[in-house]
Structure 1
């Protein structure tokens, strides 16, 4: 049987509640990650991501207002999302207490990647919902998706690159810092893969 053009409204709203909670948690994740940073270029990068995450939260709050949803609704799934975010913050705080700032920076990178993986999926799904729906609801979600999508791609793929290169440096091998994803201004999964495969050439021809 064909799926309804209207979709499952309850689940669509649940996705939006999860997305909002993810952005709220993301602000805390980036704030804590910045306290772990040693590399000045990465600090600048994450400060920009923090500012953008605050903007993404506001974009979602506008969506909630336009759809007539209460952003304070305690959806059960939000507790899980909040738990994940709080756990990432706790992991970074634990790493900082270990006394090795370079190691804590890598932990922070891994935590940002985990947070951004969920965030990226949220927005990818919001974009799909916008394409499947029609009318004002579709327009509202499409406008929000278009405002955020490129930022989310940037956050995920660039931080993956930073974390990989910081690990390689810690392992005692030559690293590309800032990473190829940053240098080549990657915005897609294909671009990220190509950038990673170019790192050896970048080491040979800096």
Structure 2
């Protein structure tokens, strides 16, 4: 079915509701993850991400205000996203009861990666919508995207690095901590791939 260049407004708004719910859930996920962070560098990193995620929520609330949307409106997709977020928090809390702080920290890192994968995609799509639309709505979305996108790349690729290196350490092999993504200040998928490929040289 052909779609217009104006896009599907209902679906665009649905994406924004999902994005807001993702940020709200992300705040809960980072709060839970921080309670498992035994590595001081990781704890500092996640505290920064929590602060940024709180800011991203406010950026979206501004978008909602400027577009005349009700941030409290319940749409079916929000319930699904909320369920995902609460499930990740539950997984972190379950890991904490296992009595192995190192294992719980890995679970927390994996849960952050899962949460940030959805979050990252939301913002990529918001950026796409901003590019495809024109007029006031495009400007509002572009401003929000520009304010957030670099943070989202950082959150996803750096935590993926932490998760990998913590696993390698747990498996009994030399790990690069903080991970190469952190040291090389990776901000893209290509950069993350290069950092991972060069990790052996950093041991």
Q: For this structure pair, what is the TM-score category when the shorter chain's length is used for normalisation?
A: over 0.9
Q: 2:29 and 2:92 mapped to 1: Cα distance?
A: 9
| TM-score normalised by L of structure 2 | 0.99
Q: 2:51 and 2:150 mapped to 1: Cα distance?
A: 14
1:134 is paired with a residue whose SS is coil
- 1:165 and 2:159 correspond: no
**What is the match of residue 185 of structure 1?**
185
**What is the match of residue 32 of structure 1?**
32
Q: Which runs of 5+ in 1 are unaligned?
A: none
Q: Which runs of 5+ in 2 are unaligned?
A: none
Q: 1:174 and 1:153 mapped to 2: Cα distance?
A: 26
| TM-score normalised by L of structure 1 | 0.98
Give the ranges of 4+ consecutive aligned residues of structure 1 lying more than 6 Å apart after TM superposition. Answer: none
Q: 2:4 and 2:148 mapped to 1: Cα distance?
A: 27
Residue 51 (structure 1) shift: 0.0
**What is the match of residue 174 of structure 1?**
174
**What is the match of residue 43 of structure 1?**
43
1:95-174 matches, within 5 Å, as: 95-174=95-174
- 1:64 and 2:64 correspond: yes
Residue 5 (structure 1) shift: 1.8
- Deviations 1:116-153 (CA, angstroms, capped at 9, x unpaired): 00000000000000000000000000000000000000
Taking only aligned residues, the RMSD between alpha carbons, in angstroms, comes to 0.7
Q: 2:73 and 2:7 mapped to 1: Cα distance?
A: 21
1:123 is paired with a residue whose SS is helix
Residue 3 (structure 1) shift: 3.1
Residue 94 (structure 1) shift: 0.2
Q: 1:81 and 1:167 mapped to 2: Cα distance?
A: 27
Q: Which moved more, 1:2-11 or 1:136-145?
A: 2-11
**What is the match of residue 93 of structure 2?**
93
Q: 1:74 and 1:47 mapped to 2: Cα distance?
A: 29
- Number of equivalences: 203
Residue 2 (structure 1) shift: 5.4
